[in-house]
Structure 1
Amino acid sequence: MRLKVLAAVSLIALTVAGCTNDTLDDVGNGVDVRKVSNKTQYQLSGQVLSKMASMNIDRNAPVTFRIFKEEGRLEVWKADRSNRFQMIKSYQICAWSGKLGPKIKEGDRQAPEGFYPLGPQHLNPNSQYYLAINTGFPNRFDQSNGFFGTNLMIHGACSSSGCYSMTDEQIIEIFAFARDAFKGGQKAIQLQAYPFRMTAENMARHRDNPNIEFWKMLKVGYDHFQLTKRPPEVAVCDKKYVFNQVKADGTPFAGGQCDGISNAPQLQAALAANEKSYAAEYAKAMKKYDGTVWLEPSEAQRKAIVADKRKGRELAYAPTGNSIDAGKLMTVREIEAQKKRAEEEAQRKIEMAERAKQQEEARKAAELKKLADDVAAQKAQQTAGADVAVPSANPGIASVQAETEAARKPFWKLWSSKGTAASGASGEATATATTSASVPAPTQSNAADAPVTTGAVADTPRQQEQPVAPQPAEAAAADAGAGAESSESVAPAETTADASGSQEVPFWKFWKKQ
Structure 2
Amino acid sequence: MKWFFTLFLLFFMTSTTIAQTDFKARQLTFERVRTAYKEKWSALKAELATAGIMGAFNLYIAAYKNESRLELWVKDTDKKQYQLFKVYSFCASSGTLGPKLKEGDLQTPEGFYHIHAFNPKSNFFLSLRVNYPNGVDRLRSGKEKPGGDIYIHGSCVTVGCIPLTDNKIKEVYVLATEAKNAGQQQIPIHIFPFKMSTANLNEQLLRFPQQKNLWETLRVGYDYFEKNKLVPTVTELNGKYIIK
- TM-score class, shorter-chain normalisation, is 0.7 to 0.9
> Hey, what does 1:144 align to over in structure 2?
139
CA contact (8 A) 1:154 1:165 kept: yes
Aligned-pair CA distance for 1:59 = 4.7
> Hey, what does 1:228 align to over in structure 2?
228
Aligned residue type for 2:169 = I
Aligned residue type for 2:233 = E
- Structure 1 gaps, min length 5: 1-36, 245-514
Task: Write the mapping of 1:87-486 to structure 2, written as runs, cut at 5 A.
Answer: 87-119=84-116, 122-146=117-141, 148-208=146-206, 209=208, 210-244=210-244
Q: In 2, distance between residues paired with 1:52 and 1:236?
A: 34
Aligned residue type for 2:130 = T
Aligned residue type for 1:55 = A
What is the aligned counterpart of 2:45 among 49, 55, 58?
A: 49
Secondary structure class of the residue paired with 1:211 = helix
CA contact (8 A) 2:61 2:72 kept: yes
What is the aligned counterpart of 1:39 among 32, 39, 43?
A: 32
Q: In 2, distance between residues paired with 1:118 and 1:46?
A: 24
Deviations 1:335-379 (A, max 9, x none): xxxxxxxxxxxxxxxxxxxxxxxxxxxxxxxxxxxxxxxxxxxxx
Q: In 1, distance between residues paired with 2:54 and 2:115?
A: 20
Secondary structure class of the residue paired with 1:145 = helix
CA contact (8 A) 1:49 1:59 kept: no
Secondary structure class of the residue paired with 1:62 = strand
Aligned residue type for 1:200 = T
Q: In 2, distance between residues paired with 1:192 and 1:163?
A: 13
What is the aligned counterpart of 1:74 among 66, 70, 77?
A: 70
Moved segments of 4+, more than 6 Å = none
Aligned-pair CA distance for 1:48 = 2.9
Deviations 1:130-178 (A, max 9, x none): 1111111101221233361121111111000111111000111111111
Q: In 2, distance between residues paired with 1:113 and 1:181?
A: 24
Q: In 2, distance between residues paired with 1:238 and 1:39?
A: 41
Aligned residue type for 1:240 = K
Q: In 1, distance between residues paired with 2:220 and 2:238?
A: 16
Aligned residue type for 1:50 = A
The root-mean-square deviation of aligned C-alpha atoms, in Å, is: 1.7
Q: In 1, distance between residues paired with 2:128 and 2:217?
A: 25
CA contact (8 A) 1:224 1:243 kept: no
> Hey, what does 2:27 align to over in structure 1?
none
CA contact (8 A) 2:129 2:152 kept: yes
Alignment TM-score, normalising by the size of structure 2: 0.79
Q: In 1, distance between residues paired with 2:241 and 2:98?
A: 16
Q: In 1, distance between residues paired with 2:118 and 2:42?
A: 24
Q: In 1, distance between residues paired with 2:92 and 2:54?
A: 31
Q: In 2, distance between residues paired with 1:153 and 1:51?
A: 26
Aligned-pair CA distance for 1:103 = 0.6
Alignment TM-score, normalising by the size of structure 1: 0.39
Q: In 1, distance between residues paired with 2:98 and 2:181?
A: 34
> Hey, what does 2:26 align to over in structure 1?
none
Secondary structure class of the residue paired with 1:230 = coil
CA contact (8 A) 2:41 2:174 kept: no
Q: Which has the higher strand share?
A: 2
Q: In 2, distance between residues paired with 1:155 and 1:54?
A: 27
Q: In 1, distance between residues paired with 2:33 and 2:223?
A: 34
> Hey, what does 1:487 align to over in structure 2?
none
Q: Which has the higher helix share?
A: 1
Q: In 2, distance between residues paired with 1:116 and 1:144?
A: 15
Aligned-pair CA distance for 1:63 = 0.4
Q: In 1, distance between residues paired with 2:91 and 2:119?
A: 19
Aligned-pair CA distance for 1:45 = 4.2
Q: In 2, distance between residues paired with 1:58 and 1:94?
A: 31
> Hey, what does 1:278 align to over in structure 2?
none
CA contact (8 A) 2:130 2:150 kept: yes
> Hey, what does 1:511 align to over in structure 2?
none
Q: In 2, distance between residues paired with 1:60 and 1:96?
A: 33
Q: In 1, distance between residues paired with 2:148 and 2:238?
A: 24
Aligned residues: percent identity?
A: 33
Q: In 2, distance between residues paired with 1:73 and 1:117?
A: 17
Q: In 1, distance between residues paired with 2:55 and 2:65?
A: 28
CA contact (8 A) 1:97 1:160 kept: yes
Aligned residue type for 1:166 = L
Deviations 1:174-231 (A, max 9, x none): 1111111111000010001001010011012112113232111100011111122121
Aligned residue type for 1:113 = E
Secondary structure class of the residue paired with 1:67 = strand
